[in-house]
Amino acid sequence: MKISPRVIGFHYTLKNPAGEVIDSSSGSDPLLFIEGSGQIIPGLEEKLLLLSVGDKRTIEVPSARAYGDHDAQLIMQVPKNRLPKAEGLEVGDQFATRGPNGEPAGVFVVTAVHADTVTLDGNHPLAGVDLTFEIEITTMRDATADELSHGHAHGPEGHHHH
């Protein structure tokens, strides 16, 4: 008998090492994901899989099991004329990159603008940051065939957004 992956729903408050709230599901629907699908960071998922509906926990996730360690090789100086937009660049602008076969390869953020070059950072904004989640499990159920074929969990009563 094949066991279907579960849909797990949870409310969360995410904090950085200084205890500042980075994100929260408070006031909105719980976050839903299909276990084993890579939809949430691995260090959080492995802890959630051990819990039951109604459980409340504080979960510490080291950066290596969250968004990875900060990678200095993902910071680069690029001539402005190699970017799709050479004029009017500002710190915070983002560029999606593509791999050799046209597949999405990542997002780079402008961190400095110079006369002829731009500094780009391809690290996730939370790379290198240890995270603390305060969570409450709200849902655990088998994923439906529709959810598995669509690749994401649907909301209550199977409703979903596309």
Query: How far, in Å, are 35, 142, 143 from residue 3 at the CA level?
Result: 12, 8, 10
Residue 1 is predicted with a pLDDT of 52
| 41 lies in the same domain as 14 | yes
Q: Are residues 131 and 113 in the same domain?
A: no
pTM of the predicted model, to two decimals?
A: 0.80
Length of the chain: 162
End-to-end CA, the chain:
32
Distance CA 13, CA 39 (A): 17
Say which DSSP state 92 is in: T
Domain count, the chain: 2
Residues 6-38: tens digit of each pLDDT = 999 999 999 999 999 999 999 999 999 999 888
- Of the listed ranges 66-70, 130-134, 148-152, the least confidently predicted one is 148-152
Residue 15 to residue 44: CA distance in whole angstroms: 13
Residues 10 and 57 in one domain: yes
Under the banding of pLDDT at 50, 70 and 90, the label for residue 71 is very high
Together in a domain, 105 and 59: no
User: What is the span of the domain harbouring residue 93?
Assistant: 72-121
100 domain residue, yes or no: yes
